[in-house]
């Protein structure tokens, strides 16, 4: 298989990536956005994994597609970034439809995972919902890594 022009996930049609990076505190958020939703899976490993909504990726569960995936710095605190992505998706009318004859709603499905970067920049400044929202606003091509402190891997505990 020949790589795409950027050799990146954004070479896949319908996939966008957004980033918010705090260069002063060396942390950030990446959101992967499949325009039509996507079936997703996960393999959680490590001695202290930080995840949100990954249990619903099990194929026996009701939800079949995710609207976005969030990768963030900030250790467990960074999981809050997914709430900002959910808010952005709700504003753009994307999510899992729920309701009955009188009440309808959309619940954006946004699994998230974090890396431990608290000792890289500032342990007091972590990605929050506003950072997640900004990452979603910046959807486009490219790659910068889940946390400003570095890409996931053995050195970061991800």
Residue 64 lies in a domain: yes
Query: What is the tally of structural domains in the chain?
Result: 1
For residue 112, tell me if it sits in a domain.
yes
Where in the sequence is the domain holding 110, given as residue range(s)? Answer: 15-137
Would you say residue 35 lies in a domain? yes
For residues 63 and 37, is the Cβ–Cβ distance under 8 A?
no
pTM over 0.75: yes
Long-range pairs, 92-101, Cβ under 8 A, ≥24? 94/37, 94/67, 95/67, 96/63, 96/65, 96/67
Residue 141 pLDDT: 58
Question: Do residues 68 and 32 lie in contact, with contact meaning Cβ atoms separated by under 8 Å?
Answer: yes
- Whole-number Å distance between alpha carbons of 135 and 21: 8
CA angle 149, 29, 49 (to 5 degrees): 75
For 66-101, how does the pLDDT look when each residue is reduced to its tens digit (9 = 90+)? Answer: 999 999 999 999 999 999 999 999 999 999 999 999
In a domain, 149, yes or no: no
User: For residue range 108-150, what is the model confidence (pLDDT) as tens digits?
Assistant: 999 999 999 999 989 999 999 999 999 999 998 544 444 454 4
């Amino acid at each position: 298989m020949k790589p795409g022009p950027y050799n990146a996930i954004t070479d896949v049609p319908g996939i966008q990536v957004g980033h918010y990076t705090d260069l002063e505190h060396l942390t950030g958020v990446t959101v992967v956005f499949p325009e039509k939703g996507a079936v997703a899976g996960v393999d959680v490993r490590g001695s202290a994994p930080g995840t949100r909504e990954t249990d619903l990726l099990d194929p026996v569960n009701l939800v079949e597609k995710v609207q976005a995936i969030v990768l963030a710095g900030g250790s467990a605190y960074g999981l809050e970034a997914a709430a900002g992505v959910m808010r952005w998706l709700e504003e753009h009318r994307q999510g899992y439809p729920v309701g009955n004859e009188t009440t309808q709603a959309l619940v954006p499905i946004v699994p998230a995972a974090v890396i431990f970067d608290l000792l890289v920049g500032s342990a007091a400044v972590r990605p929050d919902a506003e950072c997640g929202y900004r990452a979603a606003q910046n959807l486009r091509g490219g790659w910068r890594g889940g946390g400003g402190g570095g890409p996931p891997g053995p050195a970061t505990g991800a």
